[in-house]
Amino acid sequence: MSLEVIRQSLVTAVEAAKVGFSGGYTLLIEYDNRVAIDTQTQQNPYLMVSVKVIDGDQIDLHTNPTQRFTGQMYVTACVKEGTGTAKATQLLDHFYPRLQLKAFGPVRTRMAVPTRPVPNLGWMLYPVIVPFWMDKIW
């Protein structure tokens, strides 16, 4: 298992959750360093997903110790400023329950934590943080 396993497991989970979304438009998802949404031409709400591994700890004293990687997946609903919050909450209400408190292969997620909306270049961003961990035996 590697750090790439974490990213692949969580991206696969987001893509699986996307299949059931029905907001009346084709949902686009922007991932870290790939599939950038052009906010100048985009009209519909979209989702940004970012996976950040932020720590690693040795969790036992065996000669071949287990390491625990921890991190956060940011699931951010993006809507044009001035269009209200309903479409953002609709996106988040669809995605975060499908991503929190779950197991995706070796990756486990914790309860999602909503954060404050942030304005950005004519869009309002509504982030939800989904903490995760994965154990690896070296």
Domain boundaries, the chain: 3-137
For residue 35, which amino acid is it? V
- pLDDT band (50, 70, 90) for residue 34: confident
Q: Are the C-beta atoms of residues 77 and 92 closer than 8 Å to each other?
A: yes
Higher pLDDT residue, 58 or 102?
A: 102
CA atoms of 18 and 80, how far apart (whole Å)? 20
Q: Is the predicted pLDDT of residue 138 greater than 70, yes or no? A: no
Whether CATH 3.30.2000.20 fits 3-137: yes
96 membership: H or E segment, kind and range: helix 86-99
- pLDDT band (50, 70, 90) for residue 64: confident
Strand ranges, E, within 32-106: 46-58, 66-80, 103-104
pLDDT of residue 74: 98
User: Could you tell me the pTM of the whole model?
Assistant: 0.92
Each residue of 6-23: pLDDT tens digit? 999 999 999 999 999 998
Each residue of 91-113: pLDDT tens digit? 999 999 999 999 999 999 999 99
Q: Are the C-beta atoms of residues 69 and 7 closer than 8 Å to each other?
A: no
